[in-house]
Amino acid sequence: MKKLTIDQNTEEGLLLLKIGGELDASTSIDLDGVINSALEDNKINILVNCKDLVYISSAGFGVFVSYIRDLAARNGKFVLYNLNKNVYDTFKILGLDDLLLIAKNEREAKSYFA
Amino acid sequence: MQSAFQTHCQRENLKKVRTFMRKALEPYNMSNQLKYRIVLAVDEACSNAIIHGNNCNADKKITVELKVDSNRLDVKIYDIGHYSKEVAKQKDPDLRKKIAEKSKGGLGLRLMFAIMDEVQFYTQNKKNICSLSKELN
């Protein structure tokens, strides 16, 4: 069984979240708490490294969707990168292309904040 | 082949559902992507049953029943909870509305309908049944 792991770092005004394991309707509560705390600390530019994320359900993407409005209102945003094939497949099926920014790698992800 | 799995209505048991499904699908000659998608669709159906149908009541249970033959896969999820009719209307949610409402849920049915060939909700012998079917080539 793969638990969810969330590592946090800050770098040049960006919050870097590295998530690993499985993000479902149970573990997404943990991610929600981390993002909620980040916004309270005024960390509004958030990079999400999904390299070790092996599974995501709609509840996982739902957490990101639920904060888009708050971040946009404060000129912040999420950029998700290093999605594996299956995670990206789920993103595409959900039709989130126009709503969440996806980058291939960290370098491309950071370019959205340049 | 037919197999079944039963668990209590707690969110943390979703990983057990996925483990059951992954093991049950292991012997079949399907692509890894198709197996992943089927596990995802079943996870979404069970999430609905556990969270919306049974309010995460650990005294209640869901049963997942899988049947596979040469060209067809059927999964049925049984529970005895109570559903809002609104849940069944979220096949094609308005994503912009979800952002405006800061909503975290309601995306699962889109996945279920996109992945499976047939998705049905009905009641039989006082049990709610979510039926997911997929033709296999």
- Closest Cα of chain B to A107: distance in Å? 27
B104 CA: distance to closest CA in chain A (Å): 4
**pLDDT tens digit string along A8-43?**
999 989 999 999 999 999 999 999 999 999 999 999
Asked if the C-beta of A99 comes within 8 angstroms of chain B's C-beta atoms, the answer is yes
B78-135 pLDDT, tens digit each: 999 887 655 555 677 777 787 777 777 778 999 999 999 999 999 999 999 999 999 9
Per-residue model confidence as pLDDT tens digits over A45-88:
999 999 999 999 999 999 999 999 999 999 999 999 999 999 99
**Per-residue pLDDT at B94:** 79
Contact: B11, A25; criterion CB under 8 Å: yes
Domains and CATH numbers, chain B: 2-135 (3.30.565.10)
Mutating which of B40, B116, B119 best tests the A interface, going by the most A Cβ atoms within 10 A?
Answer: B40
Per-residue pLDDT band at A1 (split at 50, 70, 90): very low
Best A57, A69, A83, A94 member to test B by mutation, with max B CBs in 10 Å, is A57
Is A26 at the interface with chain B, CB within 8 A? yes
Rounded Cα distance between B33 and A84, Å, is 11
- A105 touching chain B per CB within 8 A: no
Q: In terms of C-beta density within 10 A (0-12 exposed, 13-18 middle, 19 or more buried), how is residue A85 classed?
A: exposed
* Structure tokens that stand for A46 in this block: 């958030």
Question: What share of chain B in percent tops pLDDT 70?
Answer: 94
- pLDDT, position B84: 66
Measure the CA–CA gap between B27 and A102, rounded to whole angstroms.
34
Average pLDDT (B6-21) is 97
Contacts of A18 (CB under 8 A, 6+ apart): A5, A6, A7, A8, A9, A49, A51, A52
Q: What's the whole-number mean pLDDT along residues B34-43?
A: 98
- Beta carbons within 10 angstroms of residue A46's beta carbon: 23
Q: Is B107 on the interface with A (CB under 8 A)?
A: yes
State residue A97's pLDDT score. 87
List domains and CATH numbers for chain A: 5-111 (3.30.750.24)
pLDDT at B87: 58
Q: What is the ipTM of this complex?
A: 0.93
Tell me how far CA of residue B109 lies from CA of A39, A45, A93, B54, B129, in angstroms. Answer: 29, 30, 11, 17, 15
Put simply, whether A85 touches B (Cβ < 8 Å) is yes
Distance between A106 CA and the closest CA of chain B, angstroms: 25
